[in-house]
Structures are given as structure tokens and as C-alpha cells.
Structure 1
């Protein structure tokens, strides 16, 4: 399952450095290039929600296998794209098909309701995604520059289809009997009323909102400090490396020993402070330290939010819950880049506004949670 997650996210991350130049080479205007990038996240969000509903109805195995194979076929179609309109269409359907993969994968990982290891399982999942975030962009840039962009699409397509076929053989079907026992009480969307799950949705949305801001503003900050352009990639990789180290070392035990709510608050405050520090940074060493703390905040947030989803759901509604979770994931990325674009080209302003958004939202959630506890 973790290898499956790596392949699924490499599919997305590997195209980040090449899809804009590819669209431009087809004659796309700047507006169309932006649309080509955004339409994937939009349709991916739709796929996330629908995937959650179907996973609870049909089980993870069939949804995973079919979506992986379909996504692989759609990636292959990129090699036949001849104009921006065709590229937009392929990107939309590719994002939609890929949107089914991750909620189904997390529902399968969380099938066994072992609450004592939920945090550890989610930290390993986070490590898989972090590895894809580091490998994917470098892989996309290297293959497309040395062999041509079509070979990137060939390789990703083959990997998705192969993993899809393998998943049919290796992933176990949903155990029989569970559905009948739980569907009357637990198959709906009642989990949304859970304050901790609401907090998890808002927290992951804010994390990915900051990721969108970071992706947009980091090149501007590097340029402002007159650093080499390649430093952008190095700084963006640092947080992923820090998070992976945190996930795979014994430090991952914290996710099963400390209350997830406390971890989410700690992660959000760490993210807010690191983003604010990025805006104030005046040297490469300051940027590096800020990104290390951003990685720690990311490492605290991702497993604690996803473990909260697992803990607050059951086998009959976990797919829906993770579908909404990853829809918040996609929405955060979309709005992050959009807000950064509105704020302009001042990285200090972008980072300051981002830090303020996370800090104020965290305080409001803390006060709401305190009010609920006092009321009960």
C-alpha cells in the first residue's frame, strides 16, 4: 500500500515542473496554462468525494485497481495531445481518475481498526507521500529534459497500470459481515458532526493552503535575497526530508502516545511560526532553519489529522471521510496559489498573511473546542 501511495503521488508531483512548459509548447496562453494546472486539482477534488462514497459501497480493492489502471491510460493519452484544448480535457479526466486513488488507499490502510497503531500507520503513509514529493519533481525534470516529455508519460503510465494490476492480486477484499452489522448506524455522514474530525479537515486545509502559498512565494523570496535559482528546489525539498526523518524514526511513536488534538494544535502553530519566519528571513541560513521547522509542523499535522479521521470513523464510512479529507487537501492547494496571486509579488506580504491566517484559525478552533468541552 505504501508503494502504491508513492507511485500515485509521483504521478502528480512528476508533472509539476513540466506541465506548464508542455502547455506553452502547444501554444497555450498564460491564462490557459494556469487553467491546465488548476483543472487537475479541481477535478481531483471531485474524484476524492465520489471515491469516498464508492469505496464504502463497493470496497477499496475494486476502486483502487480500476482508478489506477484508468489513470495510467489517461496519462498515456498525453502523448497524443496536439493542442491546449485537448490538454485541458486530458488533465480534467486524469485528475478525476487520480482523485479516486488516495481515499481508497487510506481506507484500505485503515481497514483494521487498530487504534493503537493508527498514528504510526499514518506517519508511514506521510513518509511515502514525502518521498514522492522529493522524487517526483526531480524525476519529471530529468526524464523530460534527457529523453523527451513523452517518455515521462510512458513511464508514469506503465507504473500506474502495473501497480493497478498488482493491487488486484495483493489487496484483500473487504471482510464479509461487517457491512450488515454496521450499515444502519454508521454508513452515513454523521462523522462530520464530530468536532475533532471538523478540526482535522480545517487543519489539513490550512496546511495545504500554506503549501500553495509556499510554492508560489519561495521562488520570489529566493530572488529577493539574490540567491541562485536552484536554491528554490533545495529549500522546498528540506521540509520533505525533515518530515520523512520524523516519520520513520522512533519519533513516530508520538502519534500513538500524544492526543491527536494536541498534535494538530502544535503542528498548526509551528507552521504559522515557520511561515512568518520565512517572510522575515534575510539569509539562506534563516530560510533553511524556517523550512526545517515547517517540516516539523508538517510532520506533526499530517499523521495526526489522518489518524483522527481513522479513529472517528468505521469501515462503513471511512471512505467518505477520507474522500472529504482529500477534497480539503486539493481545495487548500487551489486557494493557496490563488490567494498568493492576489497578494502580488511581495514574498514578505504573502508569508505574513499566510501565517496570520493559520494563527487566527488555530485560535478560533481552540476557543471553539474549549467552549464545546465546557458545555459538555
Structure 2
């Protein structure tokens, strides 16, 4: 028991420092790209292409993680990403930076499905699963709050290129730590010799996973709109970039607060997803109509975001056997990427015509309607079966 707790702690340490180090580049990437001659359009392409290659890698990662194990797909991407970040510092023009960004997005696509699948193997039930994912979410949230501050200070003090050297070397050190500490947890299960691994079709056709993936897309679409639109709103109101950072901190504090409510993991993950998505939609409705202050609404959006993220991972592990966790988390990561890509693309097109928050609200409500209908339909089918069972 103690040994398993120590192994799980190593996973938390690795994922925290990995998130911290990689998020350091957030405030320096755009100015560094501009320094190398990238236009605002090209910088947008760099951000999009990383998400696209990440999505492609997510779909490839699932079957490979299930077949070859999780440790290799945690360790190798970290080491490769560290090398690519060092190469960022050596980039001489915007084209080479674009290529490096695409390669980095692809390499990291294998990491998250493998890490989540490994972490899920250290839970005996749904409640433990939710607690593990919540702790991981808390650590990731702390990293996302601290890292931009560190990145901004390093960029000012030692320059952009030297900051990328530090990011790359730090990731390589984390990779070596991973090699030494991560132990692949094997489940001793008697398996039928004729049993076949779950296919992508079986994963996607799983009724519960359909609900999870639809909710995940709506969640990340809303999140993408907030990331894209809040800085524009601050500029339009004549606020400084420092104020924009403070606004995002309200979102992070809300997420941290909800992730700290460990008692909530006693409830069904699907119920938490529905509650969280409804809360985000209601907060967006208030935001569209400017009924409450922006900082408070961002806190609420962060709060409901924090409720949904661990519930999403728990719902995946509840819906499918251990042999399919890699594929399921790979599809889930791809859905997240699709939500972020589509939100950035659509928001850029329609923001001068209609409020992006309204479109995000519609997408969230459409997802809620479909989920509610599917739940009612499944409930009606189960009642019908009970009535005609003799």
C-alpha cells in the first residue's frame, strides 16, 4: 500500500513539474516569434498547428499506449520535447519555429493519454479515481498560475532564447527522473486468449463515452473562447495586459477552489458533468448580458471547469476496461484539441458579427440537450426492460 502511494506521488511530481516547465513559455512565445519575423497571422498559425498535430498524435497514441505500455510514452515525449525546446532557442527564423512548434505538439500528444492511463491504474474505485484526477488538476492549476509569472521574469532577465534553454534542460532532467522513478503498474488479470483489444470504433460507440466526448468538446470550446476573448475585451475597455493576467487568475482560483472539494467525488461523474456544463452555460448567459462583474463570472467559469475536468477522466475509466484506457484517453485528448481549434477559428471569424460568448453558450446548451435526451432515452429503455422481465 505504501509502495503504491510512493509510486503515485512520483507521477504527481512529474506531471506538476512538466506542466510548470512547459507553461513557462506562455508569455514569451508570441514576442519571441515576432522577434524572429513572424506576423500576427503566422503566430496564430503556429498556435493552431500545434493543436492540430497534437490532435493527430492523440489518435495515434491510444492504441500504442494500450499495446506497448505507458512508461515509454511518458518518458520519451518528455525527453523529445526537452530537445525540441532547446532547438527553439537555436531557431533562426519564423519558419523553423513553426516546424519546431508542430513537432512539439505531435510529441506531447502521446504524453497526456499515457500519464492519465497510468494514474488511473492506481485507483480501486470511482471515488479514488476522482480524487487522483482532482489532485492532478490542483497541481496543474497551481502550475498554470505560477508558470507565466516565472516565464515573464525569465524573459525579461535573461532573454527569450536563454529561457527556452532553461525550459529544454529542465524537461530533460524531468525525463531522467521519470526513467528512474516511474514503475509500470501491471494488472494481474486472466485474459481469454481469444480476446481482442478494444478498437477505436468500440470506444467511440460506447454510449457513456459518447456523452463524455460531447461534454468534453463543449467544455474546451467554451474554455477556448474565454482564452481568446478575454484579452480582446480587456483591450477594448482600455485595460492593461497586467489586468488581463489578473482576470485569468480569477478563473484559476475558481478552478483551484472546486478541485479542493474532495467530497464532490462521491457523486456520479456524469451528474457532475451535467451540473458543471449547466453552470458554465449559465455563467456565459450572465456574461453575455453583463449582469454581473467579469471577475466574479470568470471565477464561476473556473469553478465549474474544475468540477468537470476530474469528472471527465473518472467517467472514462468507469465506462471502459483497463485494456482500453489508452485509446479512450487518446480520443478524449483529441476531442479537447478539436474543441480548442474550432473555438479559436470560429471566434476569429464571427466576433465582429455576434458575441463569441453567445455561440459558446449555444454549443453548451445544445450539448446539454443531447446529453439530457440520451439519459432520458436510456432510462426509458431500462424501465421498459424491467416491465417486460418475468
Whether TM-score is above 0.5 comes out as yes
1:208: Cα distance to partner?
Answer: 1.2
* 3-state DSSP of counterpart to 2:355: helix
1:226–1:167 distance in 2 versus 1, CA, 3 Å: same
Q: Residue 217 in 1 paired to residue 224 in 2?
A: no
State whether residues 59 and 174 of structure 1, in contact with CA within 8 Å, keep that contact through their aligned partners in structure 2: no
What are structure 2's unaligned runs of at least 5 residues? 1-10, 383-390
* Cα distance in 2 for residues equivalent to 1:30 and 1:288: 28
Task: Give, in angstroms, the shift of residue 345 of structure 1.
Answer: 4.4
Find the counterpart in structure 2 of residue 191 from structure 1: 203
CA contact (8 A) 2:317 2:325 kept: yes
Equivalent residue for 1:169? 180
SS at match of 1:297: helix
For 1:355, which of 357, 361, 365 is the aligned residue? Answer: 361
Deviations 1:25-76 (A, max 9, x none): 1112332221111111111112222222211111111111111111111111
2:241 aligned residue: 229
Residues 227-236 or 264-273, more deviating: 227-236
Q: Does 1:286 align with 2:280?
A: no
Whole-angstrom distance in 2 between the partners of 1:101 and 1:4: 11
Query: What is the aligned partner in structure 2 of residue 43 from structure 1?
Result: 53
Match of 1:295 among 296, 299, 302: 302
How many residues were matched structurally?
370
What does residue range 110-259 of structure 1 map to in structure 2 within 5 Å?
110-115=120-125, 116-175=127-186, 177-178=188-189, 180=191, 184=195, 186-189=197-200, 190-248=202-260, 251-255=261-265, 257-259=266-268
Q: Secondary structure at the match of 2:26?
A: coil
Cα separation, 1, equivalents of 2:194 and 2:52? 31
Pair 1:330 & 2:337 matched? yes
Q: Which of 63, 87, 94 is 1:77 aligned to?
A: 87
- Residues 203 and 327, structure 2, Cα contact 8 Å, conserved in 1: no
Evaluate the alpha carbon distance shift between residue 19 and residue 228 of structure 1 in structure 2; reply closer, same or farther with a 3 A threshold: closer
When the two chains are superposed, the root-mean-square deviation of aligned CA atoms in Å is: 2.1
Q: TM-score, normalised by structure 1?
A: 0.92
The CA deviation at 1:187 is: 3.5
Moved more, 365-374 or 57-66: 365-374
Paired residues of 1:8 and 1:160 also in contact (CA < 8 A): yes
Compare 81-90 and 8-17 and name the one that shifted more: 8-17
Q: Quick check: which has more Rg, 1 or 2?
A: 2
CA contact (8 A) 1:50 1:323 kept: yes
Structure 1 position 11, deviation (Å) = 4.5
Which of these residues, 277, 282, 297, is aligned with residue 273 of structure 1?
A: 282
SS of residue in 2 equivalent to 1:114: coil
